[in-house]
């Protein structure tokens, strides 16, 4: 019998969970989202953090296989993405 895989982040039914937060965090969250937007906001934050962690794992895997990233090339690509005219084309 085939097993059904766990849903990916952002998929599957919604269900309540209990988390503990500092009062100041709750107040800031309510001020930003209102009472009704808190769950969607927290869901988006958690999904973003999971994506960042997965990306970090992919980078670590690639670096272990291919060696460290050339930081000069990364900065040149960032300059291109920002539209920075001082970014060197030959470093890209």
Tens-digit pLDDT profile for residues 31-55? 999 988 999 999 999 999 999 999 9
Residue 2 pLDDT level (bands cut at 50, 70, 90): confident
Give the whole-angstrom CA distance, residue 22 versus residue 30: 12
Contact 19, 29 (CB under 8 A): no
For 35, the token pair is 């009472």
Average pLDDT over residues 18-40: 94
């Amino acid at each position: 019998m085939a097993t059904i895989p766990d849903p990916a982040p952002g998929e599957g039914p919604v269900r309540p969970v209990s988390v503990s937060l500092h009062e100041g965090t709750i107040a800031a969250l309510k001020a930003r989202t209102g009472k009704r937007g808190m769950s969607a906001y927290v869901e988006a934050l958690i999904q973003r953090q999971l994506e960042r962690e997965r990306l970090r794992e992919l980078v670590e895997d690639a670096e272990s296989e291919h060696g460290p990233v050339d930081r000069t090339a990364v900065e040149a690509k960032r300059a291109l993405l920002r539209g920075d005219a001082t970014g060197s084309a030959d470093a890209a």
